[in-house]
Amino acid sequence: MLKSTRSTHAQQTSDWFADTVLSSSANAYLQYLAERGYAARTISGYFSSIAHFAHWSSEQQISLSDINEVLINRFLKEHLLDCRCALRCQRTPYMVCAALKHLLLMLRANGQCAHQHATDSDSITAELADFDGHLTDVRGLSQITRSVRLRHLQNFLIDCFGDGEVQVSSLEPTNVTRFMAQYTADWVPTSIRVVCTSLRSYFTYKASRGEQTAALIAVLPRVAQWRLAGLPKQLSDEEIKRLLGAFDRRSATGRRDYAITRCLIDLGLRRTEVARLQLDDVDWCAGTLNIRSKGKRIDVLPLPKITGQAIAQYLQDGRPQTTRREVFVRHRPPINSPADPDIVRNAVRYAALRSGLERRIRGTHILRHTLAGQLVQRGTRFKEIADLLRHRSLDTTTIYAKVDFPALEQVALPWPGRQV
């Protein structure tokens, strides 16, 4: 009975591809996934997801050139949540989303549909391309900063206009407040501030082009940012020992994640800086490391012995064969790909879970704060700390000079004559 059910499902998947715009891409998609090392079960789930999308696209009379992020978002939000298709079609959101992401990458690599922001056929992609040009040519922002602003703006435009024409003049302040309330629900103030900055930057740009956006800018919340309101959280020596002891260094992934964490703890690197490390950045003879910092700077830092040993052990006994030049690479599909900042973050996050430190460690930046705090306690000059952390301004470093009054209370002697 089970075999018969599976056979029926496989036949349905094949039937859904027939006579659709994706029918000629079915075999190419399977080959694309197989070349990247995905397991047969994952390929089957992805293929079923694409068949579901192909079936829906056929009913909507959508052409191949129309497939983009806006259309995929429409499928996920409008159709998938209230799907009434055949019983065994793939409906798992994360599975469908991942499958469609790979489909879009493959189609664009084969030149079968336009790249994001590269065409004026879609109003939103054209608007994003226009704004991206402003951020690049006028503002001179880095690729990472631009991608963050464009992602938030894209979500805002999709929320307001869907696949229709972008008309900023038709926006009301309520559109902005409603989006912010829904999009940033339960977000921390720092993340909300980034969204506000992204939208404010866009509205200011449109104002320079003659649009009336003052009312839209006015309703964006001004999220408080008290630079010196509190001490950065830091880990104790015992907590660092627990974290580093949570890696299984007998496995390839464990060696990689341990080496990643040593870079974060010993050098105070940002997670993007760890992900960007190249094999050529390590000078084993000189004992130095080239760091690609913010603003396209390349800084040279001394490579601590214990950090170098962790990297060397990974390169010798853990790193899979690959053509990539990044030091840290993926160990799971898609193979032959670099380890991105999310992998760096997850290396620390999962170790924190295993060591019982999940309440203390929410991201990688606490390791950077910990290094700075240790240097302050050793009496290191702030200029040297700023150089190591690659702070452009010494003011950024002085936050570590604040007095930790609760900690002082634990060691303070009683006032003479006062009864304790």
Residue 291 phi/psi, 5-degree rounding, is -115, 125
**Got the DSSP string for 209-222?**
TT---HHHHHTS--
Asked if pLDDT for residue 121 goes beyond 50, the answer is: no
Give yes or no: 101 in active site.
no
Asked if pLDDT for residue 134 goes beyond 50, the answer is: yes
* Residue predicted with more confidence, 136 or 293: 136
Yes or no: say if 246 and 355 are a contact pair by the CB < 8 Å rule.
yes
- Cβ neighbours of 345 (radius 10 Å): 19
Q: Summarize the confidence of residues 14-37 as an average pLDDT.
A: 81
Q: Summarize the confidence of residues 211-219 as an average pLDDT.
A: 94
Q: Summarize the confidence of residues 252-257 as an average pLDDT.
A: 96
Give yes or no: 233 in active site.
no
By percentage, how much of the chain surpasses pLDDT 70?
82
Residue 47 phi/psi, 5-degree rounding, is -65, -40
User: Average per-residue pLDDT in the chain?
Assistant: 83
What's the pLDDT score for residue 245?
96
Yes or no: say if 205 and 131 are a contact pair by the CB < 8 Å rule.
yes
Asked if pLDDT for residue 256 goes beyond 90, the answer is: yes
Give yes or no: 276 in active site.
no
Asked if pLDDT for residue 6 goes beyond 50, the answer is: no
Q: Summarize the confidence of residues 391-412 as an average pLDDT.
A: 59
Yes or no: say if 156 and 199 are a contact pair by the CB < 8 Å rule.
yes
- Cβ neighbours of 127 (radius 10 Å): 21
CA 121 to CA 26: how far, in whole Å?
Answer: 25
Buried b (16+ CB within 10 A) or exposed e, 232-266: eebbeeebbebbbebbebeeebbbbbbbbbbbbbb
In this prediction, residue 90 has a pLDDT band, given cuts at 50, 70 and 90, of: low
What's the pLDDT score for residue 207?
93
What's the pLDDT score for residue 375?
85
Q: Summarize the confidence of residues 34-61 as an average pLDDT.
A: 86
In this prediction, residue 36 has a pLDDT band, given cuts at 50, 70 and 90, of: confident
Asked if pLDDT for residue 407 goes beyond 70, the answer is: no
**Got the DSSP string for 275-309?**
HH-BGGGEETTTTEEEEE-GGG-EEEEE--HHHHH
Q: How deeply is 381 buried, as exposed, middle or buried, from its count of CB atoms within 10 A (0-12, 13-18, 19+)? A: exposed
CA 377 to CA 387: how far, in whole Å?
Answer: 17
Q: Summarize the confidence of residues 61-72 as an average pLDDT.
A: 80
Give yes or no: 400 in active site.
yes
Catalytic residue among 32, 202, 258, 400: 400
Range scoring the smallest mean pLDDT among 89-103, 130-144, 195-209, 266-280 = 89-103
Distance from the first to the final alpha carbon of the chain: 79
- Write down the H helix ranges in 230-358: 237-244, 252-267, 271-276, 305-317, 341-354
Q: Summarize the confidence of residues 88-112 as an average pLDDT.
A: 82
Yes or no: say if 228 and 401 are a contact pair by the CB < 8 Å rule.
no
Give yes or no: 79 in active site.
no
What's the pLDDT score for residue 266?
95
Catalytic residue among 117, 152, 368, 369: 368
* Residue predicted with more confidence, 70 or 234: 234
What's the pLDDT score for residue 86?
63
What's the pLDDT score for residue 264?
95
* Strand, helix or coil for residue 169: helix
CA 315 to CA 347: how far, in whole Å?
Answer: 17
Q: Summarize the confidence of residues 169-176 as an average pLDDT.
A: 93
Per DSSP bridges, beta strands 282-283 and 298-302 are unpaired
Q: pTM for the full model?
A: 0.66
Question: Tokens 């226009």 — which residue?
Answer: 130
Catalytic residue among 270, 276, 330, 345: 270
Catalytic residue among 101, 178, 294, 392: 294
- In eight-state DSSP terms, residue 28 is H
Give yes or no: 368 in active site.
yes
* Residue predicted with more confidence, 216 or 226: 216
User: Most confidently modeled of 68-72, 140-144, 306-310, 377-381?
Assistant: 306-310
Asked if pLDDT for residue 148 goes beyond 50, the answer is: yes
Asked if pLDDT for residue 390 goes beyond 60, the answer is: yes
What's the pLDDT score for residue 408?
46
